[in-house]
């Protein structure tokens, strides 16, 4: 009897140890706000130096060089007069406008009914029908040897209802330019209020042509979009079932 329950005991012990490790981490954070993750190193390629910052050639007039330094239209930021300010290169920033207001409802109803009956008999068969009484029990009627009937019915109904609404804005960074000119973007935002941390992560691929004049783009124009919005902290923890209940739900077969 002991060997029969040994695997279950080992499984419960392992689960308890894992849950205990998680409990230790939670105990260490009692009374503390959730920590913000470290900001990743921004993607910023090297910018070409301004013509006004070039070193004067040997033998040049230093006064002329000082007068022209910083006067070039091609200095950092000076190209704004001629270049499109919408994101187009690695390291550029684009604003993502997330306006999700989805409502979906699906109703399915299925009804199936089937009836069947079969009758079989031998009224006359070269006189052999008179010998059926010697082979079959009782007093069989040759004209009604077999009679079967069947009936089956099935009814099914299903209903799915979903409603989601998210209105947020987040700045994303261009992390790569694909060979066809499309831009790979990724943005992450963390906001901590008291002891609750909210996190928004957006990533995907966009077309430069879809970026509006104010350097923003809608979430519906992001291909391979991955939008994650969640949080952690005391409120989120209070809404989660205890680890013992989670283990019970995972192991209980009924």
The pLDDT value recorded for residue 52 is: 47
- pLDDT per residue, tens digit, the chain (254 aa), is 445 555 656 655 665 555 555 566 666 666 666 776 776 676 666 655 554 445 555 555 555 455 455 555 555 544 455 667 888 889 899 999 999 888 888 888 888 888 888 777 777 666 666 666 666 776 777 777 777 888 888 888 888 888 888 898 999 999 999 999 999 999 999 998 888 888 999 999 999 999 999 999 999 999 999 998 888 888 888 887 887 888 888 887 76
Cα 134 to Cα 153: distance, rounded to the nearest angstrom: 40
The pLDDT value recorded for residue 205 is: 94
What is the residue extent of each domain of the chain? Answer: 108-159
Spell out the residues 6+ positions from residue 113 whose beta carbon is closer than 8 angstroms to its own.
152, 153, 154
Evaluate if pTM is beyond 0.85.
no
* DSSP string over the chain: -TTTSHHHHHHHHHHHHHHHHHHHHHHHTTTSPPPPPPPPPP--PPPPPPGGGSPPPTT--HHHHHHHTT--TTSTTGGGGTS--S--STT-EEEEEEEEEEEEEEEEEEEEEEEEEEEE--S-STTGGGGHHHHSSS---GGGSEEEEEEEEEEEEEEEEEEEEEEEEEEEEEEEE-TTS-EEEEEEEEEEETTEEEEEEEEEEE-GGGS-TTSEEEGGG-EEEEEEEEEEEHHHHHTSPPHHHHHHHHH---
Do 112 and 233 touch, CB atoms closer than 8 A? no
Number of C-beta neighbours around residue 102 at 10 A: 9
């Amino acid at each position: 009897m002991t060997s029969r329950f040994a695997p279950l005991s080992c499984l419960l012990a392992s689960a308890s140890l894992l849950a205990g490790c998680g409990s230790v981490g939670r105990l260490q954070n009692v009374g503390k706000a959730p920590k913000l993750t470290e900001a990743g190193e921004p993607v910023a390629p090297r910018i070409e130096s301004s013509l006004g910052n070039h070193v004067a050639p040997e033998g040049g007039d230093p006064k002329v060089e000082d007068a022209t330094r910083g006067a070039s239209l091609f200095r950092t930021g000076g190209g704004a007069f001629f270049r499109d300010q919408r994101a187009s290169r690695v390291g550029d920033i684009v604003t993502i406008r997330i306006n999700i207001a989805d409502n979906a409802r699906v109703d399915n109803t299925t009804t199936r009914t089937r009836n069947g009956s079969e009758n079989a008999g031998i009224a006359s068969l070269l006189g052999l029908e008179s010998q059926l009484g010697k082979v079959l029990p009782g007093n069989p009627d040759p004209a009604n040897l077999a009679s079967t009937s069947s009936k089956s019915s099935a009814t099914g109904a299903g209903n799915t209802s979903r409603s989601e609404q998210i209105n947020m804005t987040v700045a994303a960074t261009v992390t790569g330019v694909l060979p066809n000119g499309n831009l790979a973007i990724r943005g992450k935002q963390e906001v901590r209020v008291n002891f609750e941390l909210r996190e928004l992560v957006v990533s995907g691929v966009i077309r430069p042509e879809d970026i509006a004049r104010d350097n923003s783009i809608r979430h519906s124009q992001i291909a391979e979009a991955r939008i994650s919005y969640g949080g952690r902290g005391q409120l989120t923890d209070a809404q989660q079932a205890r680890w013992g209940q989670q283990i019970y739900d995972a192991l209980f077969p009924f």
